[in-house]
Amino acid sequence: MSHPLDPLSAAELGEVCAVLRAEGLLGGPRLLSMLQLEEPPKDAVRAWQPGETLPRVARATLWDGAEQLVRIALVEVGGGVLNVQEAPGALASILALECQRAKDAVLRDERLHAALARRGITDLDTVHIEAWSFGSEVPKGIDATRRLVWTPMWLRPEPDSNVYAHPIEGLRTIVDLDSCEVLRVEEDEDSPPIPMTPGPYRADQTKAEVRLRDLAITQKDGPSFTVDGWGIRWERWRLRVGFDQREGLVLHDVRFDDGGRERPIAYRMSIAELVIPYGDKAPGAQRKQAFDTGEFSLGNFTNSLALGCDCLGEIVYLDVAVADALGNVREIPQAICMHEEDYGILWKHTDQNDHVEVRRSRRFVVSSIVTVNNYEYGYFWYLYQDGSIEFEAKLTGIVLTTAGEPGAPTPSATALEPGLLAPYHQHIFCARLDLDIDGGPNTLVEVESEPLPPGPLNPEGSSYTLRQTVLTRESTAQREVNPFTGRYWKVVNREVTGHLGAPVAYKLVPGRVTWPMASPESVIGRRAGFMYHHLWATPNRRDERYPAGEFPYQHPGGAGLPEWTAADRSLEDTDLVLWHVFGTNHIPRVEDWPVMSVERTGFMLLPVGFFGRNPGIDVAPPGSHCH
Ligand code: CO
């Protein structure tokens, strides 16, 4: 049974692409940049009943390389084109096909051949080239209104070498994505030698043999969740899994069954942007500053996951499908992994007469992993038996490398091997959290702990209380974490009272956050203005989807959250969207090489007065000897 929020199936994508071709919107210089589900309005989804049919509409973002124009076409599956709009001045995100064409053009360029030969490289098969968006000023003399890439390169001495061990520093090209013209071959006068210490990590190279005994995770009766299409029921939770070509994994309509009443908590939750500003002045780092979501559409790079490798235990997978630049549909089998994990204890108490009560914590995990060039990102959502929700990003893969003179000072990079450098950088995520606590409307409240004034309320100097501030408008809801006051933010439904008459709420508990090192006036600072607050809030608008704007590619900056919130709209008793900015400041360690172990960042959503007591109290003991 299909649901209005189900991702577009391979068949639906194929049908839409056929319509786009037949209408002349796709073909020749007209490429498909993204094909997304145009989600129906929330009211329509809320009113929808199983068995009813809502129109299935796809939103196609098309790039016309000849006219240098973005068109957005809404296409009804089975019903043809509904609407075509132009987005003048917008540049479409980079496409895998274009990357390949750009790299092919670079490899044919005789100026590059000569520059490589000066470095002793004559076999072009040993050169690994990547096409990156421009994250810094476009050099003078190059038309910045064109869609451009620049191409760092690495040497691959052997077919299975870790190329990132061998950056070819001081040699780059700039390519016009649409004409495929190599506009410039940049060669620095003094470039360091190519580092030649290998960085092997494959098992056949490392001969890794540290082993432990087998660990089997089995559930003889199968997992405790049920899957109906994209709808999931686990424990008292109900949710729908979604997928988007740009954002990757999405969760919809998350509810908790509270004594037979399915109470809405979140309508839609996704990671709406991920930007990686680099903090090194080396040309090979300065231009990076990539938006992996907004410029690369990371959903395209979703891995097919392998049982026993990526995921362990009783796994249920979901397959997804994406459409490429030419409108060819590609299925990604086993793209989303769902399973249960034992997560230690949920709670425990030993009372005065030595009576013990203890409960295991089981959590439901839905996850996916993408590979964007050198890095892997895992998106993991966890649901817990006490009503808590957690998001965790897992960062792994290979750090990006540049080269320097062996032994020279490296103020903004870690030396990994002689001459091999890993520039400092940050991974900055922005979650878009359309929460609907008990269906809404919702209001945002900041909560801080503060000492009470000395006197009758605080006779001994150790009494403290909470200060609760309603963040009434967009301007007042631009906030940073503050561990000194234990600051958190709660989303309150003032129309629904819970236990003891207080309004029900969930709170956002920040985890690992970072602060942008780039100045707000820098190119990346302007383009990723959302980085400068850990929390933003807006009234829900369907066209406000991405915190750096819809079209960040070579955008001069200011789009997205900074632009929308300038209107300073009211946030009280509204359909509230939280934007939470979090991430890591990655100062690479030598131990991050040759491949980095998973590093984590994320946040939690916890009930605060949503339930009348700990919902974990209803969890049965794991065995008769545990109570
Ligand atoms: Co990193």
Select the CATH number that applies to the domain covering 10-87 from these four: 3.90.650.10, 3.40.50.40, 3.10.450.40, 3.40.50.1100: 3.10.450.40
Amino acid letter, residue 553: Y
Q: What is the rounded average pLDDT for all residues in the chain? A: 96
Cα dihedral sign, 128-131-136-141: positive
**Half-sphere exposure (Cβ direction) of 508: Cα atoms closer than 13 Å:** 31
The whole-angstrom separation of Cα 531 and Cα 580 is 10
- N-term to C-term CA, the chain: 42
Q: Which residues lie below 8 Å from residue 595, measured CB to CB, with a gap of 6+?
A: 201, 396, 397, 398
Q: Which residues lie below 8 Å from residue 533, measured CB to CB, with a gap of 6+?
A: 478, 479, 480, 581
CA of 586 to the centre of ligand 1 (A): 5
**Half-sphere exposure (Cβ direction) of 536: Cα atoms closer than 13 Å:** 27
The whole-angstrom separation of Cα 613 and Cα 1 is 36
Q: Model pTM?
A: 0.97
Q: What is the pLDDT of residue 572?
A: 98
CA of 515 to the centre of ligand 1 (A): 15
The whole-angstrom separation of Cα 301 and Cα 370 is 5
The CA-atom distances, in angstroms, between 465 and each of 449, 450, 543 are 6, 6, 40
CA of 425 to the centre of ligand 1 (A): 6
Q: Is the peptide bond before 594 cis (omega within 30 degrees of 0)?
A: yes
Q: What is the dihedral of CA 315, 319, 325, 329, to 10 degrees?
A: 150
* Token pair listed for 106: 């670079």
Cα dihedral sign, 165-169-175-180: negative
The whole-angstrom separation of Cα 208 and Cα 8 is 42
Band the pLDDT of 623: cuts 50, 70, 90. confident
Neighbours of 101 (CB within 10 A): 17
CA of 440 to the centre of ligand 1 (A): 38
CA of 399 to the centre of ligand 1 (A): 6
DSSP letter for 526, please: H
Cα dihedral sign, 49-50-52-54: positive
* Token pair listed for 167: 């950056």
CA of 128 to the centre of ligand 1 (A): 20
Select the CATH number that applies to the domain covering 96-206 from these four: 1.20.80.10, 3.40.50.150, 2.60.40.420, 3.10.450.40: 3.10.450.40
Which backbone phi and psi does 419 adopt, to 5 degrees?
80, -5
The whole-angstrom separation of Cα 57 and Cα 21 is 17
DSSP strand pairing (80-87 vs 69-76): antiparallel
552 torsion bin: left (phi>0), alpha (psi -120 to 50), beta (else)? alpha
The whole-angstrom separation of Cα 215 and Cα 203 is 20
Q: Which residues lie below 8 Å from residue 207, measured CB to CB, with a gap of 6+?
A: none
The whole-angstrom separation of Cα 288 and Cα 553 is 13
Residue appearing with tokens 């459409």: 323
CA of 323 to the centre of ligand 1 (A): 29
Q: If you average pLDDT over residues 445-453, what whole number do you get?
A: 98
Neighbours of 108 (CB within 10 A): 12
Residues acting as catalytic residues: 292, 375
pLDDT one-digit tens code per residue, 114-140: 999 999 999 999 999 999 999 988 999
Band the pLDDT of 624: cuts 50, 70, 90. confident
DSSP strand pairing (425-435 vs 576-586): antiparallel
CA of 556 to the centre of ligand 1 (A): 25
**Residue 71 in contact with residue 64, Cβ under 8 Å?**
yes
Residue appearing with tokens 């957690």: 390
CA of 229 to the centre of ligand 1 (A): 35
Task: With residue 118 as reference, give the H or E element that holds it.
Answer: helix 110-118
**490, 472, 432: which is closest to 574 by C-alpha?**
472
The whole-angstrom separation of Cα 433 and Cα 272 is 9
pLDDT one-digit tens code per residue, 22-34: 999 999 999 999 9
Neighbours of 308 (CB within 10 A): 10
Residue 602: pLDDT over 80: yes
The CA-atom distances, in angstroms, between 545 and each of 34, 124, 173, 434, 564 are 14, 42, 33, 11, 11
Amino acid letter, residue 560: G
CA of 250 to the centre of ligand 1 (A): 23
Which backbone phi and psi does 102 adopt, to 5 degrees?
-65, -45
Q: What is the pLDDT of residue 312?
A: 92
Residue appearing with tokens 């995100």: 93
Q: What is the pLDDT of residue 627?
A: 76
Q: What is the pLDDT of residue 141?
A: 95
Residues carrying CATH 3.10.450.40, the chain: 10-87, 96-206
Instruction: Give me the DSSP letters along 121-135.
Output: ---GGGEEE--B---
The whole-angstrom separation of Cα 305 and Cα 367 is 10
557-582 burial code (b ≥16 CB/10 A, e <16): bebbbbebbeeeeebeebbbbbbbbb
Task: With residue 565 as reference, give the H or E element that holds it.
Answer: helix 561-565
Residue 317: pLDDT over 90: yes
Class of residue 597 by CB neighbours under 10 A (exposed 0-12, middle 13-18, buried 19+): exposed
DSSP letter for 601, please: E
CA of 516 to the centre of ligand 1 (A): 14
pLDDT one-digit tens code per residue, 361-393: 999 999 999 999 999 999 999 999 999 999 999
Sheet with 316-323, strands from edge to edge, namely 316-323, 329-350, 356-372, 375-383, 389-397, 596-607, 503-510, 488-497, 443-451, 464-470
Greatest CA separation for the chain: 85
Residue 1: pLDDT over 70: no
226-323+330-626 falls under which CATH superfamily?
A: Copper amine oxidase, catalytic domain (2.70.98.20)
The whole-angstrom separation of Cα 46 and Cα 4 is 10
